[in-house]
Amino acid sequence: MTKCLCGITVTLVLGNKMEERHLKIKQIVEKELSCSAHDMDHVMRVYSLCLHLAEGEPDVDLDILKTAALLHDIARVKEDNDPTGKTDHAVLGAEMAGEILKKLGYPESKIKHVKDCIMAHRLRSKKRPKTKEAKILSDADKLDILGAIGVARTFALAGRFNQRLYTDIDIEKHIQENLDGNRDGRIRDRSKHSPFIEFETKIKFIPERLYTERAKKIARERLAFFKLFLERLRKEILLS
């Protein structure tokens, strides 16, 4: 079954059409995810976007791609619930994925490839994707931060961390004080962050940091919507 979203056709992956081993992985991941912005719905959107971005791309290992997509955020809740801020869900998630795949009988070569994809999928990471599968996963994950879905997810996180709807602050000062001096830095105090800051420090730069041409095209359209929404929100807040 397919749906047309933002000018693209996305395959909706139904559980009964997934291979048995991918279904097992999905069931394991479902037990780990609980927050609204990084839930199983997000995982399955990324899964579907991965398949869309892989269409027409030669030499893509779909088993690696599907497996990595299902497991890429398995440690996200553990990161969000860590008050020390030391947990990196990409690093921990790769290790968790490795253990899961060993139990499922995956060969070591595939386990390493999947772990590399997970390690490199986040923007706030020094590790960059090198394989086609890792690049596609990274792009698919970033596309889910954009558009109407991106708006919804960003504000869902804002609510969770008690952020203000609108903040008009010195972005460079915020980067120094709350992002370790780097716009890709770890957010120290999430309550001082906001959707507007997230847009100015991360979201608006996403299209230029993607790897596949198909993803870049989708991203430009989705980014335009996100920007328009924030402009409208700012206008309404300042008039109230």
Domains of the chain: 1-127 (1.10.3210.10), 145-240 (1.20.58.1910)
The arithmetic mean of pLDDT across residues 113-137, rounded, is 89
User: Which pLDDT band, with edges at 50, 70 and 90, does 65 fall under?
Assistant: very high
CA distance 131 to 28: 25
Cβ-defined contacts of 20-25 (< 8 Å, 24+): 21/104, 22/66, 22/67, 22/70, 24/104, 25/67, 25/70, 25/71, 25/100, 25/104
Which residue in the block uniquely carries the two structure tokens 């109407």?
148
What pLDDT sits at residue 34? Answer: 65
Which residues lie below 8 Å from residue 40, measured CB to CB, with a gap of 6+? Answer: 26, 29, 30, 33
Contact in structure between 188 and 178 (CB atoms under 8 Å): yes
Dihedral (Cα; 196, 78, 40, 163), 10-degree rounding: -20
Q: Express each pLDDT in 10-33 by its tens digit.
A: 444 444 467 888 999 999 998 887
Contact in structure between 173 and 197 (CB atoms under 8 Å): no
Q: How far is CA 158 from the centre of its chain?
A: 16
The arithmetic mean of pLDDT across residues 185-214, rounded, is 91
Backbone phi, psi, residue 194, to 5°: -165, 165
Q: Mean pLDDT highest for which of 2-6, 88-92, 147-151?
A: 147-151
- In order of 100, 103, 117, the CA distances from 107 in angstroms are 12, 10, 16
- Whether 9 has a pLDDT exceeding 90, the answer reads no
Q: Express each pLDDT in 157-184 by its tens digit.
A: 899 889 998 888 889 998 898 888 888 7
Q: What is the CA radius of gyration of the chain?
A: 18
